[in-house]
A = this chain, B = another copy of it.
Amino acid sequence: MHRIRVRVVADALDANDTIARANRADFDRAGVRVVNLMSAPGAGKTTLLERALPALGGLRAGVLEGDVEGSIDADRIAALHVPVAQLNTGAGFGGECHLDANMVRSALPELPLDTLDLLIVENVGNLVCPAEFRIGEDARAMVCSVAEGEDKPLKYPLMFRACELVVVNKVDLVDVLGFDLERLLENVAAVNPGAEVLTLSARTGAGVERFARWLAGTVARAGAAA
């Protein structure tokens, strides 16, 4: 039974890569750069976007919201007058715990790609499977909340390794939690020595401008490389 299951998964991942390349070709044609933003549930991805999107200067950004159900996050982003589409994995995709390239592809007609410089795909809250599926993105970023504990890079290394950027969020709670920020940063470095790390608080806004600059830099770098 195991051999059969492994084969099916391998086939599915190959199909995913094919569709991810097709997405990427469409993104390139539209001149839009794409960031795949991942985290555990409740790490603060949407709050971070609410803070960072108005700080992007002249950059035209849109958001694709991935959730199992509902449109809570898309409604929050829409309130900023940012183009947004909601992609529910519970509707037609079996309640999947992650976005894959095919799901993202199905949602692209809902977004005005030609008018955007940057598309942020907010993945389903999950520290495991989203890291396994490329969606055609230029960069992968994750949010890790200090409320989750210092050990998460060691317990979910694939996610921490998959990302170019690790945002350490909720640093306003470091003192009240007695959180060992140095140990978290050491654990991130042990798993992914090349990762860029930003510490910030999306709730207070402290440090969010550095995330906004990273987003703008991703657009600039990808544009220069194209």
Contact of A42 among B70, B132, B148 (CB under 8 A): B148
List chain B residues, Cβ under 8 A from A147.
42, 145, 147-148, 170, 173
Q: In the complex the two chains form, what is the Cα distance from A95 to B170 in whole Å? A: 28
Residues of chain B within 8 A of A6, CB atoms compared:
94
Q: Which residue of B lies closest to A12 (CB)?
A: B5
A149 contacts B97, CB within 8 Å? no
> Cβ of B5 and Cβ of A94 under 8 Å apart?
yes
Is A124's beta carbon under 8 Å from chain B? yes
- How distant is the Cα of A12 from the Cα of B2 in the complex, in angstroms? 11
- Cα distance A12–B12 when bound, in Å? 16
Of A26-34, A152-160, A192-200, the stretch lying at the interface with chain B is: A152-160
Whether B68 contacts A154 by the Cβ 8 Å rule is no
Residue of A12, A129, A155 with most partner-chain B CB within 10 A: A155
Say yes or no: A156-B5 contact (C-beta < 8 A), given A126-B126, A147-B42, A147-B173: no
Contact, CB under 8 Å: B124 / A126: no
Does residue A1 face the partner (Cβ distance < 8 Å to B)? Answer: yes
A residues 39-88 near B (Cβ < 8 Å) are 40-42, 67-70, 72
Contacts of A147-196 to chain B: CB distance below 8 A? 147-149, 151-152, 154-158, 170, 173, 176-177
- Residue A20 lies at the interface, judged by CB distance under 8 Å to chain B: no
Residue contact B154 to A69, C-beta cutoff 8 Å: yes
Are B95 and A156 in contact, CB atoms less than 8 angstroms apart?
Answer: no
Docked CA distance A155–B128 (Å): 18
Instruction: Give A97 to B146 CA distance when docked, in angstroms.
Output: 21
Distance to closest chain B CB from A9 (angstroms)? 6
Q: Which of B72, B95, B152 contacts A154 (CB 8 A)?
A: B72
> If the complex has contacts A1-B15, A5-B12, are A152 and B97 also in contact, measured as CB distance less than 8 A?
no
Of A5, A40, A128, A152, most B-chain CB atoms within 10 Å: A128
Residues of B within 8 A of A5 (CB): 12, 94
Most B C-beta atoms less than 10 A away, residue of A1, A125, A157: A125
